[in-house]
Structure 1
Amino acid sequence: MAKVSDIDVLPPKAMDMGSESNEGDEQSGEGLRMKKELGLMNGVAIIVGVIVGSGIFVSPSLALKYAGSKGMALIVWVLSGFLSMIGALCYAELGTMIPKSGGDYAYIGEAFGPLPSFLYLWVALFILVPTGNAITALTFAQNILKPLWPACPPPDTAVSLIAAVITCFLTVINCYNVKWVTRVQDSFTAAKILALLVTFFASLWYLFSGHTENLENMMQGTITKPGELAIAFYTGLFSYSGWNYLNFVTEELKEPYKNLPRAICISMPVVTLVYALTNVAYFAVLTNDEIHVSQAVAVTFSVKILGMMSWIMPLFVALCTFGSLNGAIYASSRLFFVGARNGHLPLAISLIDVKRLTPVPSLLFLCIATLVLLLSNNVESLIVYVTAVEALFTLASVAGLLWMRFTRPNLQRPIRVSIILPLSFLIICTFVVICSCFTHPMEVGIGVAFILIGVPVYYIFVVWKNKPQWMITVCNSFNLFCSKIFLCLPENSKDL
C-alpha cells in the first residue's frame, strides 16, 4: 500500500492539464492498472442494462406524439433498434481496431486528432453523461415514490432527494469493487427483462379477453413531416442509447476481439425485440389519448390492467432504472479517466485507488456533475438536447471509420464490416439531425454552441504551454490533494 508521503511521485509535467501525454495508452510495463474482469455475459449485461433504463418508460408517449399513430410509432421503435444495431456493428470494428477504453473519444482522436476528441470529451463531461444519468435517476425516484403518492405526482423535493441518494449510493459501489458492480448489473438486467416480459404477457391476457379495439386502425393519424418524424426517431434512439458503452471499457474486457462483437450481436436483437413487445403491450391496453397525457406510460398501463397490483409496475421501473444508472456510471467514468490520462482533463481524474484499482476521482467527479443536473425536469427538451449532440459525435466516429479505411488501410481490423453499413448509418443519421433543426432549433442550437465553446477551452488549457505559474501551481496542488485524500496514483505507477 502506498504511503501518503509517496504520493508525490506524480510527475510535475503530467500534472499540468495541458500535457497531452500518451503514457496512459501504453500497454507495456507492470504497474498500477485496472483489471480485466469483464466476460462475455458481463458485457451483454452492461449493454442491455444501460440501454433498458428510463427511455422505454418515458419515450413511448413522445414517440407517439411525433409519429402520430401507433403503427408509425412502432415502426420508429423497430427502425431505431435496427439503426442502433448498424451503429453497434460499426463500433465493433472500431473497438477491435482501436482496443482502447474511452469509446468515441478514442476513435475520434485516432481519426481526426486531439481537438475533435477533446470536444467530444467536453460535451460528454457537461451534457451527455450527467444529463442522461440525471434523467435515469429522476425516473427511478419518481417510480419508487409513486406508491406513496398514487393520486398525484410525488413532490419535486422528494424526487430530487431520492435521485441524489441513489446516485451517491451507486457511485460508492463503483468506487469500492468492480465485481460488486458486475453482480448488481447482471442481477438487475435479468430483473428488468423479466419486468418487460410480464408487461407483454399481461397485455396478451387483456387482448384474449376480447379488448382489441386499441389495435384497430393502427396507422390512423400518421404524421409524415420529416421534422416531426426526426424527433420521433430522437425519442426512440434516446431509449436505445448506451449501445456503445461497452466500448468505453474495452481495456477491462477479457478477449475484446471476441467478446465485444459477440456481446453486441447478442444484446441488440434482444433489446429491439423486448422494446417492440413492450410497445405493443402499451398500445394494446392504452388509447392514444391515455398515452399522450401520461408522464409514465408504464404506470398508467399498470393502473389500467393490474388494478390493486398496479404498485408492482413502478417497482419494476425502479429496478430497470437502478441497473441502467449503475451501468452508465461504471462505463462513463472510464471515459473521463481516459481523457484525463491523455492530458485533456486534470490528472487527478485519471488516478486509480491503490487498494481497489478503481478510478475513484473520475467516479466522484461524475457524481457531482450528475447531482448538479438533477434540478432539471423538462424531459422532452433534455432528450432532444442530448440526442442531437450525441448523434453529431456518433456521426464523427463512424465517419472516422470510413476515413481510416482510406488513410490507414493497413491497420489491423479483427472485424471488418461491409462499407454499406457505415455509409447507411452516416446518411440516415445526418438526415435525422438536419430535419430536427427545423422543429427544435433552440435545443439543437444550444448543443452546437456548447460544442463551439469547447474550442477556446482546448487552446487555453491544453495547447497553451507557457501558462502562468499561478495556474500551474493551482493544478499541481489540486492533483496532489486528490492523490493524498483518495490514496490514488497514476496508472502504471510502481511505487506501491
Structure 2
Amino acid sequence: MTEAKTDYKEVPTGDGEEIKKEDEVVGLKPKMTLLNGITVIVGSIIGSGIFISPKGVLQNTGSVGLSLIVWITSGLFSMVGAYCYAELGCMIQKTGADYAYIMVTFGPFLAFMRLWVECIIVRPCSQTIVALTFSVYIMKPFFPTCIPPDESARLLAAVCILVLTFVNCWNVKWATRVQDIFTGAKLFALAVIIITGFVQLGRGETQYFNFDKSETDVTKIALSFYSGLFAYNGWNYLNFVIEELKDPVRNLPKAIYISISLVTIVYVLANVAFYTTLSPAEVLGSEAVAVSFADRLYRPVEFLIPIFVALSTFGSVNGILFTSSRLFYAGAMEGQMPEILTMIQVKRMTPAPAVLFMSFLSLVYLGSSNIFALISYVGFATWISIGLAVLCVPWLRWKAPDLERPIRVNLVWPVLYIIATIFITILPMWEAPIETGIGVGIISTGIPVYLIFIKMRKPVWVKRNLSKLDIFMQKIMMVCQPENPACL
C-alpha cells in the first residue's frame, strides 16, 4: 500500500471528473510567467499581518514616525533576504527551497532542524494567529465597545480551522476556489483603506505623524520587528516552486523586486491611512485596528470592513493549509518526515494526512489566545532558520566556489542580513524572555527527535512495527503515494 501503480488508468477526482494518467510520470514543468511569480509572492505575503501588526509595531516603537520606519525597514530587510534567496534558488533548483539549501550546504541535521521549525512552529502557529484574527474581526461588530470573549474567539478560530481542514481534505478545487474568492476580499479591504487615507491626508489629518515618545530601548525596537516582519512573511514562497517558473534567472529577481516593493508601498500606505484617523492610544487600545478605523469613517456601513478583513484572514488560513504539503513532501523525500505525510487520499485526490497534521498542531497552539506572544514564537523561529539559509550564500562561495551561479549577489547583502538577523533574534530575549524561551524550547525538541527517529540505527523489530503502523494509517485514511509529486 505504499505505492500507487503506474500503468494507464483513470482516477476519479471526487467531483465526477476523470483524469487520465499514463505510464510516464509527469514532472514539474516551467509554466509560471513573471506575472504569476509576482502574484505568488504578493498573495503569500498579504494576509492578516497588516491588520494585526500595526498595534504590535507601535507598542514597541512608541511613536507613529518610528513605527513607519520599522515598516519600511522590514520591507527592505525582506527584499535583501529574497535577493540572497535568488542566488540560492537558481543555483540549487530543488523542491523545498531553504530546506534544500541548508541540506546541500550544512547537511541533514541542520536541514532537519529547519524543517522541524517550519512544520512544528511556523506554519501551524501562523495558522493559529490568522484564525484568531478571523474570529476577532468577525465578532467585533457584535462587541463594538468591548473585547470579544476569549473563549468565544478561540472556539470560533477552531471552527474556522476545522471547516477549512474539511474543505482541503475533501476537494482540491474547493480549496483553490476559496483562495481565489477570499484573495479578492483582502485586496478590496486594503484598497478602500488606502484610498480613504489619501482623502484624509487631503483634509490635513497629519497630527499624529511625529516622533514624540519614540522608544529608545533597542531591545524593544528589535521586538517591534517581529510584528513588522510577520506581516511580510511569505516572501520566500516563490522559491518553493522555482522549478515551475519560466526563465528563473531573469524572472525570479524581477518578481522579487516588483512584488516586495509593491507590498511595502501597500503596507506603509495602509499604516498612514490608519494614523490619519486613529491616535496612537486608540491603535494600542484596539483589538482590531481596521474595525476601529471603519467605526470612525464608514458609518452606517462600518460593518463591511471587518467582514472583508475576516474573509481575507479566512482565505489566509486556507492558503497555509493548501501550501504546506509541498514542504512535507520535500522532507519525506530526504527521509526526514513520516512517509504518510506525503500521501494523497485515493478517492478525493487531496493531501489529507498533511492537512490533518497541520490542523492538529494549529488547534494545540489555540491553548494561547495571545496573538503577539504567538507572533514572538513565530518570529524567533522564522528568522533564525531563514538567517541560517542566507548564511548558505557566503558559506558556499567559500566551500564550493565552482558551483554555477546564474545570479551572483554582492556578499555585502548576505552579511548585512545575517547581522540584522542576529540583532532581531538575540536582543528580544531580554525584553520577552518567556516567549523566546518557549520558542527555544520547542525548537530544541527537534534534537532528540532527529537522534532517535532519523540518526539512530533502528532494530529490525522497530522497523517492522513502524512499517505496520504506516500501513495501518494508510488503510484508515485510504491514502497512497502519488504517481506525480506535482499533484501535491
Q: Give TM-score scaled by structure 1 length.
A: 0.86
Q: 2:371 aligns with which of 358, 362, 379?
A: 379
Distance in 2, Cα, partners of 1:443 & 1:234: 12
Conserved in 1, the CA contact under 8 Å of 2:380 and 2:425? Answer: yes
Is residue 482 from structure 1 mapped to residue 488 from structure 2 by the alignment?
A: no
- Alpha-carbon contact 1:246-1:331 (below 8 Å) kept: no
**Segment of structure 1 superposing worse, 424-433 or 484-493:** 484-493
Q: CA deviation at 1:445?
A: 2.5
Please name the residue that 1:302 is paired with: 294
**Contact 1:37 1:179 survives alignment (8 Å):** no
| 1:344 aligned residue (333, 336, 348) | 336
Question: Quick one: structure 1 residues 238 and 135, their matched pair in 2 at CA, closer, same or farther if it must change by over 3 Å?
Answer: same
Aligned with residue 408 of structure 1, among 380, 400, 413? 400
Q: Select between 260-269 and 378-387 the one with higher mean Cα deviation.
A: 260-269
3-state SS of the aligned residue for 1:375? coil
What's the CA shift string for 1:26-60, capped at 9, x where partnerless?
A: xxx94376787755444433322232222211111
Aligned 8 A contact 2:185 2:309 in 1: no
Query: Which residue is equivalent to 2:283?
Result: 291
Mapped to 2, the partners of 1:262 and 1:181 lie a distance apart of 29
Q: Which residue number in structure 1 is paired with residue 155 of structure 2?
A: 161
Query: For residue 386 of structure 2, what is the aligned residue in structure 1?
Result: 394
SS of 2:228 mapped into structure 1: helix
- Measure, in 1, the Cα distance between the counterparts of 2:215 and 2:203: 31
- Asked if the contact 1:35–1:252 (Cα under 8 Å) also holds between the matched residues in 2, the reply is yes
Distance 2:34 2:361 in 1: 31
- Taking structure 1 as reference, are residues 213 and 150 closer, same or farther at Cα in structure 2, changes over 3 Å only? same
Contact 1:31-1:491 at 8 Å conserved across structures: no
CA distance in 2, matches of 1:257, 1:173: 36
Output the amino acid matched with 2:83. Answer: L
Measured at CA, do residues 335 and 8 of structure 1 come closer, stay the same or move farther in structure 2, by a change above 3 Å? closer
SS of the residue corresponding to residue 213 of structure 1 reads coil
| 1:54 equivalenced with 2:48 (yes/no) | yes
| 1:99–1:250 CA contact under 8 A, matched in 2 | yes
**Cα gap change, 1:187 to 1:38, in 2 (>3 Å):** farther
Report the counterpart of residue 443 of structure 2 in structure 1.
451
Change in 2 beyond 3 A, CA 1:359/1:30: farther
Change (3 A) 1:442 1:161: closer
Instruction: Please give the secondary structure, in 2, of the residue aligned with 1:221.
Output: coil
Distance 1:200 1:288, change over 3 A: same
Counterpart CA distance in 2 for 1:140 and 1:42 is 27
Q: Who is 1:94 aligned against?
A: 88
Query: Could you say if the C-alpha distance between residues 464 and 183 of structure 1 is closer, same or farther in structure 2, counting changes exceeding 3 Å?
Result: same
State the identity %: 44
Counterpart residue type for residue 195 of structure 1: A
Aligned to 2:320: 328
The structural deviation recorded for 1:87 is 0.6
Q: Deviations over 1:93-130 (max 9, x none)?
A: 22222222222211111110000011112222221110
Are the aligned partners of 2:325 and 2:341 in contact in 1 as well (CA < 8 Å)?
A: no
Distance 1:187-1:402 versus aligned 2 partners, 3 A rule: farther
Cα drift, residue 407 of structure 1:
1.4
Give the equivalent residue in structure 2 for 1:124: 118
Q: 1:176 to 1:258 in 2, by over 3 A?
A: farther
Mean CA deviation greater in 223-232 or 328-337: 328-337
Paired residue type of 1:116: L
Alpha carbons of 1:414 and 1:194: their partners in 2 closer, same or farther (altered >3 Å)?
farther
The aligned residue for residue 144 of structure 2 is 150
The one-letter amino acid paired with 2:448 is P
- 1:473 pairs with 439, 452, 464, which one? 464
Aligned CA distance change for structure 1 residues 381 and 8 (closer, same or farther; 3 Å) = closer
Of 202-211 and 278-287, deviating more is 202-211
Structure 1 equivalent of residue 267 of structure 2? 275
Amino acid at match of 2:471: L
SS of match in other structure, 1:76 = helix
Q: Distance in 2 between matches of 1:295 and 1:160?
A: 14
Any unmatched runs of 5+ in structure 2? Answer: 5-22
> Under a length normalisation based on structure 2, what TM-score does the superposition of the two structures give?
0.88
* Bigger shift: residues 176-185 or 231-240: 176-185
Give me the whole-angstrom Cα distance separating, in 1, the residues matched to 2:150 and 2:351: 32
Amino acid at match of 1:120: R
CA 417–381 in structure 1, closer or farther in 2 if over 3 Å, else same: same
Q: What is residue 23 of structure 1 aligned with on the other side?
A: none
Q: Which amino acid aligns with 2:114?
A: Y
Cα separation, 2, equivalents of 1:397 and 1:465: 28
Superposition RMSD on alpha carbons, in Å?
2.7
Contact 1:56 1:275 in 2 (8 A): yes
Name the counterpart of 1:31.
Answer: 25
SS across alignment from 1:310: coil
- Matching residue of 1:79: 73
Letter in 2 for 1:274: V
Task: Specify the alignment match of 1:65 in structure 2.
Answer: 59
Q: Alignment partner for residue 235 of structure 1, among 219, 222, 227?
A: 227
Task: Name the counterpart of 1:19.
Answer: none
Q: Which moved more, 1:415-424 or 1:473-482?
A: 473-482
